[in-house]
Amino acid sequence: MVLAAPGEALRESELPAPEPGPGQVSVAVSACGVCRTDLHVVDGELPDPKLPLVPGHQVVGRVVAGGERFAAGDRVGIPWLGWTCGECRYCVSGRENLCDRARFTGYQLDGGYAEAVVADERFCFPLPEGYDDLQAAPLLCAGLIGYRALRLAGHAERVGLYGFGASAHIVAQVARHEGRRIFAFTRADDEAAQGFARELGAEWAGDALGPAPEELDAAIIFAPAGELVPAALAAVAKGGTVVCAGIHMSDIPSFPYELLWGERVVRSVANLTRRDGEELLEVAPQVPVRTEIQIFPLEAANDALARLRVGEIRGAAVLQVMPIDD
């Protein structure tokens, strides 16, 4: 499924099979998660995508050929971080997520809305058993970015999750496992999301723009709505952190300094390091995280994106790629 130009629907296309270069594996894709970032790419909200582009950066498949790290037939996951330079000031200080020359899967590199993909084997993850391919896919971004956001929220006991979609539904399970208390903030009338959050251990779920039931120690904002930043700042206690976990957000309205006073912190989370991935994939089976997925055939990628746009997905949308018939 190919994006020819931002703002257009993806088109079902026949492309030549990608050939692995040095250090790359070619992978037969079986599942690919659909991420909010894919929507930002398709909608033209992120600058300079590769075009034409195959989106998708939560890819599960089996190695067909190439590379040295994996054998043919090994199951791998391919995440958003597709390549880093290894030599810039960020890469050499354990912050490859900020690499100046990083390349991202499904953005600058063709991704997993396809039957076949190539990937730098150093950035692929072996996947834990106990998850089938479809269930494993959302761990690869919704899970990883959510996990990094939770880590950057510090040792917060009372955690507010703003937007209860693919990421929040995974983070809530990890946070509960760590003994934290979860509060879910959604659109006022989104009773489905609020009920879903309570099922996953949130002790309260309600209106993101209304008052919080009690002070929070941290908030993680997954929804791309800038007005949630002052709302979350108003909800956190002194010393609390507000983490913006999305790659794109509408403008943040101005707010009184009083909301930031008391050593409150606002920060973003950008991308992932391979270490974040290794940690989450180790933690997930211990929780155990159960991913709630809504399955679409690959050809229905536009439908999956449209439903994600209007908030109709419970948990995570995943594209199922049927084996190539030859």
Interface residues with Zn ion (CB under 5 A) are: 35, 37, 84-85, 88, 91, 99, 141
3-state SS of 61-123 is EEEEECCCCCCCCCEEEECCEEECCCCCCCHHHCCHHHCCCCEEECCCECCCCCCEEEEEHHH
Which residue's CB is nearer to Zn ion, number 81 or number 219? 81
* Shortest Cβ 61–Zn ion spacing (Å): 17
Which residue's CB is nearer to Zn ion, number 25 or number 269? 269
* Shortest Cβ 37–Zn ion spacing (Å): 4
Which residue's CB is nearer to Zn ion, number 238 or number 248? 248
* Shortest Cβ 90–Zn ion spacing (Å): 5
| Exposure b/e, 307-322, CB count within 10 A at least 16 = b | bbeebebbbbbbbbbe
* Shortest Cβ 99–Zn ion spacing (Å): 3
Which residue's CB is nearer to Zn ion, number 23 or number 213? 23
Which residue's CB is nearer to Zn ion, number 35 or number 284? 35
Edge-to-edge strands, sheet with 181-186:
204-207, 181-186, 158-162, 216-221, 236-244, 265-268
Report whether 140 contacts 33 (CB < 8 A).
Answer: yes
* Shortest Cβ 34–Zn ion spacing (Å): 9
Cα dihedral 324/35/98/272 (nearest 10): -80
* Shortest Cβ 84–Zn ion spacing (Å): 5
* Shortest Cβ 141–Zn ion spacing (Å): 3
CA distance 152 to 197: 21
Cα separations (Å) of 228 from 161, 193, 253, 268, 304?
11, 17, 9, 13, 25
Which residue's CB is nearer to Zn ion, number 85 or number 270? 85
Which residue's CB is nearer to Zn ion, number 10 or number 156? 10
- Long-range Cβ contacts of 187-196 (<8 Å, 24+ apart): 187/311, 190/164, 190/311, 192/314, 193/164, 193/165, 193/311, 193/314, 194/164, 196/164, 196/169, 196/292, 196/314, 196/315
* Shortest Cβ 172–Zn ion spacing (Å): 18
Which residue's CB is nearer to Zn ion, number 88 or number 152? 88
